[in-house]
Amino acid sequence: MTDEELGETTPEENQEGEEETPETPPEKTEEDKSKDLQSALAQKDHFRTKAEKLEKELQAIKSSKKEEPEKLWEAPNDPLEIVRLGKTLKDYTEEETEFIIRNASSKDIKGIMEAEKDVWVRTAIKAQREKVVKEKALNPSTQQPEPMKERTFTEKLKEANLSEKEKLLEEVGLWKSPRVRPLKDRIPLSR
C-alpha cells in the first residue's frame, strides 16, 4: 500500500495536495564563514592558554607535596609528655579521642592537650555522652535483664542447697536449728 492509498499526506504536501518545498537555511556567505573560523580559532587559543596555566599550577602543587610530606604525628623527645597525654586522654573513648585529635590545632602532644582543654570540645563530648544515655533509656536493648518476678517459696526451696534451705525454713518458722552444746556441758555416753 502506498501513502496515497492510506490517505496520508507527506510533509511536502499540504491538505489541498499542493507540494511545498522544504525551507533551506540561507547559505552562509564567505564573510560569515570567516567570522566563525576566527571565533573558533580565538576560543581554541584561549582554552589552550588556560589549560597550560592549570597544568603548571598542578605541577607546582604536586612538587610542593613531594617536598613536604604531611606529618600526622610528631614523636616527642620527652617520654613524660607521652605519659601526660595518656593521663589526659584516659577518661575518653576511642571515638572521643579521635574527635579531640581531629580538633587539635596541631598534631603534636601540646596541640592535642590544648584541644582536650577546649570548652567547645568538652561540651561536644558531654553532649554526645548525654545523647547516648538518652537513647539507651528510650530504647532498652535486649541485653538488659528483665525484672525478676518473685519466685514462690517452693521454687526457692528446690533451687537452694542444704544451708540455704535451713535459713529459708528458719525465716518462716518451720525449722529450728539444733543447738550445739559446748564440750564441757555434754554428757558422756560411756562411763
Q: How far is it, in rounded angstroms, from Cα 137 to Cα 158?
A: 36
Residues 175 and 160: their CA atoms lie apart, in Å, by 15
Q: Among residues 102, 128, 127, which one has the least CA distance to residue 115?
A: 102
**Does the model's pTM come out above 0.85?**
no
pLDDT score recorded for residue 110? 86
Q: Which residues of the chain have pLDDT under 50?
A: 13
Domain ranges across the chain:
37-70, 79-138
Q: 104-122, pLDDT tens digit by residue? A: 888 888 888 899 999 999 9
Q: What is the pLDDT of residue 50?
A: 94
pLDDT at 25: 60
Q: Are 13 and 19 within 8 A, CB to CB?
A: yes
Residue 74: the pLDDT is 59
Q: Which long-range contacts (CB under 8 A, 24 or more apart) does 48-55 make?
A: none
- pLDDT value, residue 149: 73
Which pLDDT score is estimated for 21?
59
Predicted pLDDT of residue 191: 63
